[in-house]
């Protein structure tokens, strides 16, 4: 734990800052590094354990989806797309059964469309050897997904599918005539001055400082930090810092990025798993104490992120998991400490 940084940044939030749980992620062998930033109206505190630095960069994985959904809902506010309109209205012929699948069902994972990341060699959560530096086009990912039968018919269930957000990225590009990354940059990153957040494209590395990510290959630990994240594209390619992610969610949930109506639509949560409900680009988590918190989680090989929020507190955790460990108890304890 960086006690010097903690001492300099400690404010009133320090009374509920889960330092022991953050340390425990590393000392228990669940992670090689961990960092956490908590913001309240009283101030901000950041800390780190292991090889991490409090201001370090990390791959935010599927937290990217909340940025993408925010842009789509901004386009709803501008009258350029309707949430309950079929995909074929905007992306004619791109998606099988697109005349019956709506924009909303893509954003809240109720489309039934197969997740391309379940195919061998198409997941950034698994080691891919030299293939991890390969470039992928979004259409390649859709081709993999559409080679499988859907999980169910539109709106007949819930199944997390990265394919949905590849479609959402293409929808943004079709509606605006610009890349989805340009739209995120111009609509979110620049207005909020998120200078430490980026869409890397084919760049395999991260800005410094950053903790390294690891995985197990043939019984040995290997460095999995470097990879081409185009395999995730609009489903999870972004890089950020905990402070930037907190700033984004505070602006989003505080009504600074969307109209009240669109934010209400984003919070139209449907049952997903025992741990969380899902709305268009947002998760609502249920803590053991009965509290609920909003945000999104993300996971790429070597990096795991949780960004969780309520009306008074913003918290973003990033850690570098080690293979064959289960930090669930520590994570629940950490967030319960913060929010219960």
Q: Hey, which residues are catalytic here? A: 62
Q: Is 152 left (phi over 0), alpha (psi -120 to 50) or beta?
A: beta
Q: Are 240 and 58 in contact (CB under 8 A)?
A: yes
Distance, CA of 239 to CA of 197 (rounded, Å): 6
Enter the tokens of residue 95: 């998606």
108 in Cβ contact with 114 (< 8 Å): no
Distances in Å between the alpha carbon of 209 and those of 5, 14, 51, 192, 290? Answer: 15, 24, 10, 22, 37
CA–CA separation, 206 and 116 (whole Å)? 25
Q: Give how far Cα 3 sits from Cα of 19, 31, 189, Å.
A: 10, 19, 31
């Amino acid at each position: 734990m960086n006690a010097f940084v903690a001492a300099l940044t400690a404010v009133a939030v320090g009374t509920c800052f889960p330092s022991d749980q953050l340390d425990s992620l590393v000392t228990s062998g669940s992670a090689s590094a961990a960092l956490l930033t908590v913001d309240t109206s009283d101030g901000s505190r950041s800390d780190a354990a292991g090889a991490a630095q409090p201001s370090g960069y990390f791959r935010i994985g599927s937290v990217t989806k909340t940025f993408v959904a925010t842009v789509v809902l901004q386009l709803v506010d501008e009258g350029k797309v309707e949430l309950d309109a079929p995909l074929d209205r905007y992306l004619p012929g791109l998606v099988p059964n697109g005349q019956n699948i709506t924009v909303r069902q893509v954003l809240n994972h109720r489309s039934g469309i197969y997740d391309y990341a379940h195919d061998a060699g198409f997941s950034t959560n698994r080691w891919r050897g030299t293939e991890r530096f390969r470039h992928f086009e979004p259409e390649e990912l859709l081709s993999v997904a559409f080679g499988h039968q859907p999980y169910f018919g539109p709106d007949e269930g819930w199944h997390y599918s990265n394919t949905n957000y590849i479609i959402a990225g293409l929808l943004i590009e079709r509606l605006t005539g610009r890349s989805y990354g340009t739209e995120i940059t111009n609509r979110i990153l620049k207005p909020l001055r998120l200078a430490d957040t980026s869409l890397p494209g084919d760049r395999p590395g991260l800005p410094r400082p950053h903790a390294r990510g690891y995985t197990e290959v043939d019984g040995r630990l290997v460095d999995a930090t470097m990879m081409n994240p185009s395999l995730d594209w609009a489903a999870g390619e972004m890089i950020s810092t905990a402070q930037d992610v907190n700033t984004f969610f505070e602006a989003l949930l505080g009504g600074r990025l969307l109209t009240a109506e669109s934010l209400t639509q984003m919070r139209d949560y449907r049952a997903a798993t025992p741990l969380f409900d899902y709305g268009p680009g947002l998760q609502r988590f249920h803590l053991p104490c009965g509290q609920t918190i909003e945000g999104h989680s993300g996971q790429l090989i070597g990096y795991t992120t949780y960004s969780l929020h309520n009306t008074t507190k913003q918290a973003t955790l990033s850690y570098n998991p080690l293979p064959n460990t289960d930090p669930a108890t520590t994570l629940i304890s950490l967030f319960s400490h913060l929010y219960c």
